Amino acid sequence: MKHVALLLGIAAQMSAFTSCTTTADNDSPVTAGAVPADSSAPSFKATAEADRAAKKTEATITPYPFETCAVQFHKPFKDGIPKHRRVYQGQEVLFCCTPCVKAFDMNPDPYMPRIVAAAKAQQTGSSQ
């Protein structure tokens, strides 16, 4: 009986450490901090179209300040190259994989303050 309880405890702890490439049955990403999409959240297609439109005005886009994924911020890009890019409120945002983009598209607000603050600090440091 002790072994069963131990195995259940280990399984519960392991499920807490999900990869950014793990998806649920409904193909929504299982990511820490992700909030299910509501009717007001933009769709993946809508944000991709907005990104393409924003690329035409590159001069007004603030560069992404990190060498890691916006969602899995501890995860560096494979070979130093991000897989996906978004422009959100004039800020470039880079991602390591499609599930991370989908998590961001569902609820970008938790990720943006850290990105915006680092981008401002980077701009301030480089302008001095």
Per the structure, how many domains does the chain have?
A: 1
Residue 125 lies in a domain: yes
**2 lies in some domain:** no
Evaluate whether 118 touches 111 at the Cβ level (below 8 Å).
no
**Cα four-point dihedral sign 34, 36, 40, 44:** positive
Model confidence, pTM? 0.59
The whole domain housing 77 covers 43-128
CA dihedral 105, 64, 94, 30 (to 10 degrees): -60
pLDDT in tens, the chain (128 residues): 554 444 444 444 443 344 555 443 334 333 333 344 455 666 777 777 777 776 666 668 899 999 999 999 999 999 999 999 999 999 999 999 999 999 999 999 999 999 999 999 998 876 65
Q: Is residue 72 part of a domain?
A: yes
* Number of other residues whose CB lies within 10 A of the CB of residue 116: 16
Q: Where are the beta strands (DSSP E) in the chain?
A: 84-88, 91-95
Q: How many residues does the chain have?
A: 128
Residue 67 covered by a domain: yes
**pLDDT score of 60:** 82
Residue 35 lies in a domain: no
